[in-house]
Amino acid sequence: MYIPAHGTYLPSFRTYIPSDGTKNLSPIIMIFVVYQQQIFLNLTPATGKLYYLCWLITKHIRNYMMKKALFLTTIFMCFFIVAQASGKVKTVSIKSDILGCTKYYNVYFPDGYKTSGKQYPVLYLLHGLSGTHETWAQNYDMARIVNETIESGMCHPMIIIMPDASGENARHCGRHTGYQNQEGWAYEDYFFNELIPHVEKTYRIIGDRAHRAIAGLSMGGHGTFMYASHHPEMFSSACPMSARLTGVTEVDEDHDQAYIDDMKNNDFVKKFPTYSAEKIKAMKTVRWLFDCGDDDKLLDGTLKMYMLMREQGFNAELRVRNGGHAQRYWRDSLPLTLTFVSIGFTEH
């Protein structure tokens, strides 16, 4: 059977098969499938030639697929090398005398941290209820989002600390949960008196208010507002995301009673009008960004707090986007938060 050097023309199908097998793959596959049964049902001299042609076609397809696999492997390896050069997340333990236990936190290091010798601003990023120090990295693709936001020039390279405010039981929602001080769980004291000093001594962090920010989602948004209102001298920016800012009427029965009582009584919307003029003045020095989905059950509290602060002359910002109390919303919130706190680092 004569096979042209540069390809084969099949009159019955009017399809040109290039010798490198890189074009018209759909017709090639079609020809192979159509004739395959005939080859094995009636192997005559004519079908023997056809069998050879099908074998040749298969060879071209196999060669093409090998080339394609090699190309994709090369692309993957290049991506892997680039990803390895980007920022990384590490889990670290800290022995807390205040809490009487060992706690953990995740720390994100921007690309070049080991070799740059530079000092960096810091963002404390708080998880929500049922979360841990690992939640931002594992559930919200934090490292990739931060890497891309830094590479795009939309935020400064920064160190990000993700602490653990989870409780003792397997669901992390029981006894000893939350960012507030409660009986047997002085977490706020731990955060300011042990965690921050430890972190800012251990890593190359600038360590002043101008280059320190805080953000968090849901329960972490509650903690963000609480910490920035209790300690406005500590943060240049605060970003409560989908935050619980009002009291609660129903709490999962698995929670410890001290946590239930605190969440029911800790209504920031009700407390805000009682703040002193001095406290209001101090809180105004913080840049505030509220972010909550239009389908989020906590939106009402966010809107009320935002309006209260605007009435008092706060330069607070509000973002209400499409979405609910969900992971997808918070993934999209993170770049906005990073950009907002970076502007604060620059302004100060």
Distance, in Å, from the CA atom of 297 to the CA atom of 319, rounded to the nearest integer, reads 15
In this predicted model, what pLDDT tens digit does every residue of 209-220 receive, in sequence order? 999 999 999 999
Q: What percent of the chain has pLDDT over 70?
A: 68
**Unique residue bearing structure tokens 């918070």:** 330
Pull the structure tokens for residue 338: 């990073």
**Confidence grade of residue 262 (pLDDT, cut at 50, 70, 90):** low
- Which of the pair, 170 or 336, is modelled with greater confidence? 336
Q: Write down the domain spans for the chain.
A: 7-83, 87-347
In this predicted model, what pLDDT tens digit does every residue of 152-211 receive, in sequence order? 999 999 999 999 998 765 333 445 678 988 888 899 999 999 999 999 999 999 999 999
Please provide residue 14's backbone torsions phi and psi, each rounded to the nearest 5 degrees. 50, 50
Q: What percent of the chain has pLDDT over 90?
A: 59
| The pLDDT value given to residue 226 | 96
Which residues sit opposite 12 in a β-bridge? none
pTM for this predicted structure: 0.74
Q: Is the distance from CB of 24 to CB of 15 less than 8 angstroms?
A: yes
Distance, in Å, from the CA atom of 153 to the CA atom of 134, rounded to the nearest integer, reads 26
Averaged pLDDT, 50-76: 60
Sequence-ordered strand ranges (E) for the chain: 7-10, 15-18, 88-96, 101-109, 122-126, 159-163, 181-182, 185-186, 212-217, 237-241, 287-293, 317-321
- Which of the pair, 109 or 184, is modelled with greater confidence? 109
Pull the structure tokens for residue 227: 């910490």
Closest CA to 111 of 144, 88, 132: 88
Q: Is the dihedral of CA 215, 217, 221, 223 positive or negative?
A: negative
CATH code for residues 87-347: 3.40.50.1820
| The pLDDT value given to residue 255 | 54
User: What's the chain's average pLDDT?
Assistant: 80
